[in-house]
Amino acid sequence: MKTYIILLLIFFTTLSKAQTHRFIYEYKFKPDSTSTNYRNVNMALDINPTDVKFYDYESVLNDSINKKGGRNYNWTGAPVIKRNKNSYQNTNYEMMMDYFSYTTTDKMDWKLENETKPSGQYTLQKATTNFGGRQWIAWFCKDVNISEGPYKFRGLPGLIFEINDSKDNFIFKLIKSQKIEKTFDTSDFMEAFAGKKPLNLKISDMHKMMLQFYNDPMKELREKFDDVPPGTFQVGGKKITSKDQFKEMAKVMQHHILKNYNPLDLTTAVTYPVIN
């Protein structure tokens, strides 16, 4: 912790010299809200001259491989966001049945609390807000005059170092900072993913597609069943030799979707029907 705080201090004293200010956050989240298990992903917050981007930091590492002719793409399910500087309008990118994007306006009202706590050589102040159907607790630093933070969180009088929801389903913590001499090119994994540009949709249209898949998740495989030799299909390591097996596999898939659907923003979530 002391090392990272010293690095941050050095970084902040030369902040104005960099074109892009990159902050790395550890992101812990529960795909299953009833579980005690977290997934951990490091996220990059790039504050560029004209826009702000938030994405999986692994994409940076993979991008260098891909630029050398590799094909290393991985979608972790972590949020991917882009917005103009000083704006609350976000372009959201999602990989599900296809690659999608949709726009949301995400202004939030913060309540500044009197409570503070030390973080190395910095003093963090507490702030709270209700956003996306959840209550959030943030710790920001007035000494770092950047009104930004991870995901869609912004608008406080200082950089957000930590933020979590009241049930600890989602936890963001600042762990590192970097100076980038020029805006990092995200065109191969954000504005497009593996060469595929996103389908720009309304949230309601995306929900329809998600529900269509949920209601019949085996449709594509079932329709191809008659065109391939028997025993060719495998789902979860199990050979499919009869169309009747797709019904059983569909229920397994539906239960999996329900169990692992814990959206960060509840106000843009789809409502899946519960199955027996």
The tens digit of pLDDT for each residue in 94-112 reads: 998 789 999 999 999 999 9
Measured distance CA(85)–CA(271) in Å, rounded: 32
pTM of the predicted protein model: 0.88
Split at pLDDT 50, 70, 90, the class of 276 is: confident
Split at pLDDT 50, 70, 90, the class of 235 is: low
Name the segment(s) of the chain with CATH classification 2.50.20.
2-180
Percent of the chain with pLDDT over 70: 86
**What pLDDT does 10 receive?**
44
CATH of 2-180, one of 1.20.58, 2.60.40, 2.50.20, 1.20.5: 2.50.20
**What pLDDT does 232 receive?**
63
pLDDT average, residue stretch 69-89 = 85
Q: Look at residue 48 and tell me whether its pLDDT is greater than 50.
A: yes
Q: Look at residue 1 and tell me whether its pLDDT is greater than 70.
A: no
pLDDT average, residue stretch 150-160 = 97
Split at pLDDT 50, 70, 90, the class of 173 is: very high
